[in-house]
């Protein structure tokens, strides 16, 4: 899955012949799962039409601060556009635009957006060989990198002028590869390995029946996906669940009972940096599951139950343990129970859900959590989609671990 998936990308197109390649660049960005908006310099409109770029990006293209030429009478707010974006790509970046980016000479909307953007900015220079080699251009490259922008190196080859050498804009595929690799190399959990338990457990009564619970596994899967999006390898140990997960960094281990989950956790603990226990593990299991289907005979039936191992507490008691995150689902005296649970299971963070909160609970797409750290600090969050809750949890882990 591309790291560009779900990213809001602002593409700045300036007036060079390579601008015609940006139609393909937009296609590739959209295909990678990004939302794309395009801002052009007025000169760029001579090389590629706003209509092509707006059709491909599925968003209006802007090139003036306010005008009728863009067919919308409104003020094109450069600050809003700058704040909207997760990253900005300026491609092709002409020598002229690069020099204005250095000096802050804001004479068009694209430059105003560039100066307003708080996100990472990538630029792909495109110009003729002699312009590329000129000391002023080379100086501008250095200055722009010193400002914190990222240069996507130009390629060598035949140039529009007929000269041959450096100055060709990197091909759209190369631009995408460069940005993806750059983002991946800076992900906070790159090179880390995390474990997540998720879903319910099923405790066998007889060959056709079990004791289970309503956990869907959605919260744990959302956490696993967020960890992977931050660059971590993830071992997802999952009880019976209908939720699908596909990510190249996530390895799923399917289990059925609490004992299976306990075994899978302990077999996979080597080199795990962070372990997150979101599974709703059955506390008890039938003492002796029946070999054959239990027949309906007497008016009442009593099952003898024995306690399951507490997986989280077993890891919490280990000497060299990973950074440990537990969940607690409570129905009353939530904070007191949660403090006691955190201490008993020796968690670094405890994620508290209350069944009394409307947006929380099994099977829902939303959750409402509080995060409790080792010093009993409590951070309460609003009701959010589980993917957003997962982000809050993973961000807090990264913060607490100082990554």
The residues that touch ligand CTP, with contacts defined as CB under 6 A, are: 197, 258, 277, 279, 281, 283, 308, 310-312, 326-329, 341
Rounded Cα gap, residues 91 and 100, in angstroms = 15
Q: Is 377 a catalytic residue?
A: no
Closest distance between ligand CTP and the C-beta of residue 326, in Å? 4
User: Out of 77, 213, 308, 333, which one is annotated catalytic?
Assistant: 213
Q: How far is the CB of 370 from ligand CTP (least distance, A)?
A: 14
Residues 6, 157: Cα–Cα separation, whole Å = 34
Closer CB to ligand CTP, 69 or 254, in the complex: 254
Whole-angstrom distance, CA of residue 295 vs CA of residue 302:
13
How near is the Cβ of 394 to ligand CTP at its closest, in Å?
Answer: 16
HSE-up of residue 24 (Cα within 13 Å, Cβ side): 12
CB nearer ligand CTP, residue 57 or residue 278? 278
- Tell me whether residue 225 or residue 311 sits nearer to ligand CTP (CB atom): 311
CB of 288 to ligand CTP, least distance (A): 19
Type and span of the H or E element at 74: strand 72-75
Name the 3-class secondary structure at 233: strand
d(CA 269, CA 235): 9
User: Three-class SS of residue 287?
Assistant: coil
Using the minimum distance from each CB to ligand CTP, give the nearer residue, 206 or 310.
Answer: 310
Give 50 or 220: the residue with its C-beta nearer to ligand CTP: 220
Cα angle: 282, vertex 288, 289; to 5 degrees: 75
Q: What sign results for the dihedral spanned by CA atoms 59, 61, 65, 66?
A: negative
Report the Cα–Cα distance between both ends of the chain, in Å, rounded: 23
Tell me how far, at minimum, the Cβ of 277 lies from ligand CTP, in Å. 4
DSSP-derived letter for residue 268 is T
- Provide the annotated active-site residues: 213
């Amino acid at each position: 899955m591309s790291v560009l998936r779900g990213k809001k990308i602002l593409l700045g197109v300036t007036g060079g012949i390579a601008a015609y390649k940006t139609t393909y660049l937009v296609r590739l960005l959209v295909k990678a799962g990004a939302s794309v908006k395009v801002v052009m310099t007025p000169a760029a409109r001579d090389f590629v039409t706003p209509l092509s770029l707006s059709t491909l990006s599925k968003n209006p293209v802007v090139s003036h601060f306010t005008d009728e030429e863009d067919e919308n009478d409104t003020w094109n707010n450069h600050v809003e556009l700058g704040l909207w974006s997760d990253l900005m790509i300026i491609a092709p970046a002409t020598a002229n635009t690069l020099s204005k980016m250095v000096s802050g000479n804001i004479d068009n909307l694209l430059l105003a957006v560039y100066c307003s953007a708080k996100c990472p900015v990538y630029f792909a220079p495109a110009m003729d060989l002699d312009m590329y080699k000129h000391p002023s251009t080379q100086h501008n490259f250095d200055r722009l990198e010193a400002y914190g922008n990222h240069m996507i190196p130009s390629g060598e080859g035949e140039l529009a002028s007929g000269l041959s050498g450096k100055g060709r804009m990197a091909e759209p595929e190369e631009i995408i590869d460069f940005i993806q690799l750059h983002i991946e190399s800076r992900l906070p959990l790159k090179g880390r390995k995390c474990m997540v338990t998720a879903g319910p457990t099923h405790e066998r009564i007889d060959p056709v029946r079990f004791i289970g619970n309503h956990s869907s596994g959605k919260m744990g899967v959302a956490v696993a996906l967020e960890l992977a999006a931050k660059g971590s390898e993830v071992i997802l140990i999952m009880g019976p669940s209908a939720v699908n997960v596909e990510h190249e960094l996530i390895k799923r281990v399917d289990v059925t009972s609490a004992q299976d989950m306990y075994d899978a956790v302990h077999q996979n603990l080597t080199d795990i940096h962070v372990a997150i226990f979101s599974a709703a593990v059955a506390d008890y299991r039938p003492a002796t599951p029946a070999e054959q289907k239990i027949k309906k005979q007497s008016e009442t039936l009593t099952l003898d139950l024995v306690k399951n191992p507490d997986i989280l507490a077993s890891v919490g008691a280990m000497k060299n343990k990973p950074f440990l995150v537990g969940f607690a689902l409570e129905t009353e005296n939530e904070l007191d129970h949660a403090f006691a649970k955190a201490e008993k299971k020796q968690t670094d963070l405890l994620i508290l859900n209350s069944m009394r909160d409307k947006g929380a609970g099994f099977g829902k797409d939303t959750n409402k959590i509080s995060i409790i750290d080792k010093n009993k600090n409590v951070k309460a969050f609003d009701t959010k989609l589980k993917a957003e809750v997962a982000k809050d949890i993973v961000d807090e882990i990264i913060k607490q671990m100082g990554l």
